[in-house]
């Protein structure tokens, strides 16, 4: 059937706080029984608000954290129970891109050394071959090979994220997991990095798992989406179907809360969700969302809904989703006037024109030593 | 409400660090009328927060100095006021909401006490009355069980509630002008929706003029009446919010809107429009149009600073080539 590259089965991660003098220690159920299938070559995004456990899940998937219970299957092996030595070899295939390009790169290593390090750790190639490969990767992510001997502080946020991506690609991974890879970046730079990730995915045959809270970004890059709430997966499905008509009441509220990027769509209705996300150390019984759900009834307060099939490759964990009124999803902004559309076309055309249509064109100079250059990114 | 005479007006404001270099904020003019919301948008380093701090008289001087311009509020130029006069206005008729409530509020005092302090600083009221006012404000911003929260400390509240406390404090003295610097950036999207809705409600109720600083065009589309787009210290385009989204003129605005991952539909071919290169550093500020080196339409004429000129009612743009479709020849597609 479908070709799965990574699979999670009833994955749990509970963190226990230090024991207090009296009473029991607090257990935070950051990830609580998640099943997940990642298909080969797809981009799967995990969305949710702070504290929903999405970053913990990402770390469990490549065993940066050991699960409390459950398994993660990669290539038929359960990596959650693999000995550390065997795991190390597998890490070559599973790589991570961190959110903060400022703290995830060693400031005392040059860019080339940073990119060569994973290859060295896995005993790939000769010294010369590794350096050659580092140059190639730098060029590929849109940085000049001349920058290889500079240090991370000489680069902007977007450039550092490119270095982080080059580093994670150095071992030729099969799966790339990005924990909020673009959320620390300004919108124009964010667009460059998103375009780059999409190109690299095709070129390197990657499967991407992206953790994000920005639903606009998620919609743009993903094939499938999973929504988390308080450690549980409450809805999964193909991106377009999800955004057109989210099924779970929480998904609906989440989409409704996104500010529409057009003043004509400005909503006047009060926000659907009141209050804050409850503490993951004391999640409500039954459906974890019932305390904030406008459709909750007595059953929701006692019985926890299972993630069940909703047709069209979608799954949802709600007792009542069949009987809820159809949701509108995200409104489409009205079309622009013809002359304005032409203006956008001109901009796109001009931005693309002088350089060859590839983003392996060296693109930006570091912050220091800015020389006159033709900056082009397609 | 737009069209009323401005309550706060900034004319030709220029700010720089030390004596050398170029202006970090250069010749910025803005105005906001009662009940109106002006959004200042731009990416990091465009000078939007410096502008806000200047309005509040909170610039760290030295080394940061206002070198030109004036800020007219209520018939006086705020830049000419003494520190004492400014601190009379601050927190009273001019209030500010900061991005990070954790650093803007004091973690060592209960939140109710901090709101009461803001009231007592500017009003002749007793402790009891100030506490009553604090309670009323906490209720107004929708904090559940406000009585018990009066004595809560910051660490006992969630991110959304902390931001509500800051809003309560800023609005406690019925300010005429409220300046909000990225008030929802640190919040989750459902909490952001609550806070934006709250601010809009309170503004309608009190007729406060608001200047909201953000990098998020979604927030702009949601709350703004007027928008000023800043790039590298200058206003490159300004106008009513509708005009800006439906008829963006400046290449930077076009790039900014085009680089938003399409919420409505995937962009043609699935690729986002990008703005190449980086924001110029203050040491290497171009002398002409500051956007020229990143602009796909740049030409020799861009070595001259383009004036912010009127292109439609209330809509101004600082580009030699606006409107682009009339002045830029179509290229043969490659």
Q: Print pLDDT tens along chain A (378 aa).
A: 458 999 999 999 998 877 777 777 888 888 999 999 999 999 999 998 888 889 899 999 989 999 999 999 998 889 888 888 888 888 899 999 988 777 889 999 999 999 999 999 999 989 999 999 999 999 888 888 888 999 998 888 888 988 999 999 999 999 999 998 888 788 878 888 888 898 899 898 999 999 988 888 898 899 999 999 999 999 999 998 999 899 999 999 988 888 877 887 776 677 777 777 788 788 899 999 999 898 989 999 999 999 999 989 999 999 999 888 887 777 777 788 888 888 888 888 888 755 433 333 444 444 443 333 333 333
In a mutational test of the B interface, the residue from A276, A371, A377 whose CB has the highest number of chain B CBs within 10 Å is: A276
CB distance B180 to B210 below 8 Å? yes
Nearest to A347 among B192, B222, B254 (CB): B254
- Asked if B264's CB is within 8 angstroms of A261's CB, the reply is yes
- Asked if A260's CB is within 8 angstroms of B218's CB, the reply is yes
CA A48, CA A308: separation in Å to the nearest integer?
19
- The complex's ipTM works out to 0.81
- Asked if B281's CB is within 8 angstroms of A370's CB, the reply is yes
User: Which residues, 6+ apart, have CB-to-CB distance to A216 below 8 Å?
Assistant: A258, A261, B218, B260, B261, B262, B263
Instruction: Please list the residues that pair with A364 across neighbouring strands.
Output: A143
Instruction: Please list the residues that pair with A37 across neighbouring strands.
Output: A7
Q: Which long-range contacts (CB under 8 A, 24 or more apart) does A335-338 make?
A: A336/B246, A337/B246, A337/B247
Helix (H) or strand (E) holding A30: strand A27-39
What's phi and psi for B321, nearest 5 deg? -105, 0
Residue B331 burial (C-beta neighbours within 10 Å; 0-12, 13-18, 19+): exposed
**Residues in B touching A275 (Cβ below 8 Å):** 144
Residues B163-216 pLDDT 10s: 889 999 998 998 999 999 988 887 788 888 888 888 888 888 889 999 999 988
Name the minimum distance, in Å, from the CA of B123 to any CA of chain A.
Answer: 32
Nearest to B273 among A219, A264, A348 (CB): A348
B219 shares contact with chain A (CB less than 8 Å): yes
- Asked if A259's CB is within 8 angstroms of B221's CB, the reply is yes
Instruction: Please list the residues that pair with B236 across neighbouring strands.
Output: none
B248 shares contact with chain A (CB less than 8 Å): yes
- Chain B residue nearest residue A217, CA to CA: B261
- Asked if A273's CB is within 8 angstroms of B334's CB, the reply is no
Name the minimum distance, in Å, from the CA of B290 to any CA of chain A.
Answer: 14
- Please give the residue that has the higher pLDDT: either B41 or A377: B41
Between A and B, how many CB-CB pairs are < 8 A?
Answer: 196
- Asked if A221's CB is within 8 angstroms of B263's CB, the reply is no
pLDDT of residue A368: 44
Per-residue 3-state assignment (H helix, E strand, C coil) for chain B: CCCCCCCEEEEEEEEEECCCCCCCEEEEEEEECCCCEEEEECCCCCCHHHHHHHHHCCCCCCCEEEEEEEEEECCEEHHHCCHHHHHHHECCCEEEECCCHHHHCCCCCCHHHHHHHHHHHHCCCCHHHHHHHHHHHHHHCCCCCHHHHCCCCHHHCCHHHHHHHHHHHHHCCCCCEEEEECCCCCCCHHHHHHHHHHHHHHHHHHCCEEEEEECCHHHHHHHCCEEEEEECCEEEEEEEHHHHHHCCCCHHHHHHHHCCCCCCCCCHHHCCCCCCCCCCCHHHCCCCCCCHHHCCCCCHHHHCCCCCEEEECCEEECCCCCCHHHHCCCCCCC
Helix (H) or strand (E) holding A116: helix A111-121
**Residues in B touching A156 (Cβ below 8 Å):** 278
- pTM of this prediction? 0.83
CA torsion B279→B284→B285→B291, rounded to 10°?
-40
Beta-strand pair A69-74/A4-16: antiparallel
Q: For residue B243, give both structure tokens.
A: 């005009």
CA A378, CA A7: separation in Å to the nearest integer?
35
pLDDT of residue B114: 94
Name the minimum distance, in Å, from the CA of B160 to any CA of chain A.
Answer: 8
In a mutational test of the B interface, the residue from A194, A254, A271, A373 whose CB has the highest number of chain B CBs within 10 Å is: A271
SS3 (DSSP) at A289: coil
pLDDT of residue A76: 85
Lowest mean pLDDT among A279-293, B122-136, B237-251, B263-277: B263-277
- Chain A residue nearest residue B241, CA to CA: A263
- Asked if A367's CB is within 8 angstroms of B273's CB, the reply is no
CA A105, CA A248: separation in Å to the nearest integer?
39
CB distance A358 to A378 below 8 Å? yes
CA A165, CA A197: separation in Å to the nearest integer?
8
**Residues in A touching B282 (Cβ below 8 Å):** none
- Chain A residue nearest residue B195, CA to CA: A271
- Asked if B324's CB is within 8 angstroms of A346's CB, the reply is yes
The arithmetic mean of pLDDT across residues B44-55, rounded, is: 88
């Amino acid at each position: 059937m479908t070709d799965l590259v990574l699979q999670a089965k009833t994955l749990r991660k509970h963190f226990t706080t230090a024991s207090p003098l009296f009473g029991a220690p607090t257990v935070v159920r950051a990830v609580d029984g998640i099943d997940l299938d990642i298909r080969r070559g797809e981009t799967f995004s995990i969305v949710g608000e702070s504290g929903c456990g999405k970053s913990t899940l990402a770390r469990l998937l490549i065993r940066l954290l050991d699960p409390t219970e459950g398994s993660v299957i990669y290539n038929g092996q359960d990596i959650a129970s693999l000995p550390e030595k065997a795991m190390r070899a597998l890490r070559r295939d599973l790589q991570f891109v961190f959110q903060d390009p400022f703290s995830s790169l060693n400031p005392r290593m040059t860019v080339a050394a940073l990119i060569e390090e994973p290859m060295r750790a896995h005993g790939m190639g000769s010294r010369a071959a590794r350096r050659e490969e580092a140059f190639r990767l730098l060029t590929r992510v849109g940085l000049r090979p001349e920058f290889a001997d500079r240090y991370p502080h000489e680069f902007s946020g977007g450039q550092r994220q490119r270095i982080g991506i080059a580093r994670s690609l150095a071992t030729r991974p099969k799966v790339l997991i990005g924990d909020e890879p673009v959320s620390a970046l300004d919108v124009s730079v964010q667009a460059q990095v998103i375009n780059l990730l999409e190109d690299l995915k095709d070129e390197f045959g990657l499967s991407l798992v992206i953790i994000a809270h920005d639903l606009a970004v998620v919609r743009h890059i993903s094939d499938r989406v999973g929504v988390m709430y308080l450690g549980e997966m409450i809805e999964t499905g193909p991106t377009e179907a999800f955004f057109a008509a989210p099924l779970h009441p929480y998904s609906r509220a989440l989409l409704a809360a996104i500010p529409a990027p057009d003043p004509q769509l400005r909503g006047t209705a009060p926000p659907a969700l009141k209050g804050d996300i409850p503490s993951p150390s004391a999640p409500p019984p039954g459906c974890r969302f019932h305390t904030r759900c406008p459709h909750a009834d007595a059953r929701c307060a006692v019985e926890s809904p299972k993630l069940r099939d909703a047709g069209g490759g979608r799954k949802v964990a709600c007792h009542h989703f069949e009987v809820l009124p159809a949701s509108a999803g995200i409104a489409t902004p009205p079309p622009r006037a013809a002359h304005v559309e032409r203006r956008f076309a001109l901009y796109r055309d001009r931005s693309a024109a002088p350089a060859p249509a590839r983003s392996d064109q060296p693109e930006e100079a570091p912050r220091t030593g800015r020389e006159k250059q033709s900056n082009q990114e397609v | 409400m737009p069209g009323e005479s401005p309550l706060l007006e900034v004319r030709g404001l220029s700010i720089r660090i030390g004596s050398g270099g170029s202006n970090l904020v250069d010749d910025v003019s803005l105005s906001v009328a009662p009940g109106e919301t002006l959004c200042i948008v731009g990416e990091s380093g465009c000078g939007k927060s410096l502008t806000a701090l200047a309005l509040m008289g909170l610039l760290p001087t030295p080394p940061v100095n206002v070198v030109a311009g004036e800020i007219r509020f209520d018939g006086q130029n705020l830049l000419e006021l003494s520190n004492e006069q400014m601190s009379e206005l601050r927190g009273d008729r001019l209030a500010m909401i900061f991005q990070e409530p954790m650093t803007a509020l004091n973690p060592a005092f209960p939140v109710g006490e901090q709101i009461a302090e803001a009231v007592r600083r500017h009003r002749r009221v007793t402790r009891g009355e100030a506490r009553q006012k604090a309670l009323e404000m906490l209720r107004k911003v929708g904090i559940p069980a406000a009585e018990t929260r009066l004595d809560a400390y910051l660490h006992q509240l969630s991110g959304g509630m902390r931001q509500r406390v800051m809003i309560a404090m800023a609005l406690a003295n019925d300010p005429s002008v409220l300046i909000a610097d990225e008030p929802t950036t640190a919040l989750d999207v459902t909490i952001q929706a609550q806070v934006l809705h709250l601010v809009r409600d309170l503004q309608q109720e009190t007729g406060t003029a608001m200047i909201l600083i953000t990098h998020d065009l979604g927030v702009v589309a949601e709350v703004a009446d007027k928008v000023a787009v800043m790039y590298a210290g200058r206003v490159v385009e300004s106008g009513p919010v509708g005009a800006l989204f439906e008829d963006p003129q400046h290449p930077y605005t076009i790039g900014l809107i085009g680089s938003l991952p399409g919420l409505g539909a995937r962009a043609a071919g699935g690729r986002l429009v990008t703005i190449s290169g980086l924001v110029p550093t203050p040491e290497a500020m171009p002398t002409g149009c500051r956007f020229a080196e990143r602009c796909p339409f740049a030409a020799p004429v861009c070595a001259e600073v383009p004036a912010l000129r009127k292109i439609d009612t209330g809509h101004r743009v600082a580009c030699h080539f606006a409107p682009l479709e009339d002045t830029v020849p179509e290229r043969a597609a490659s």
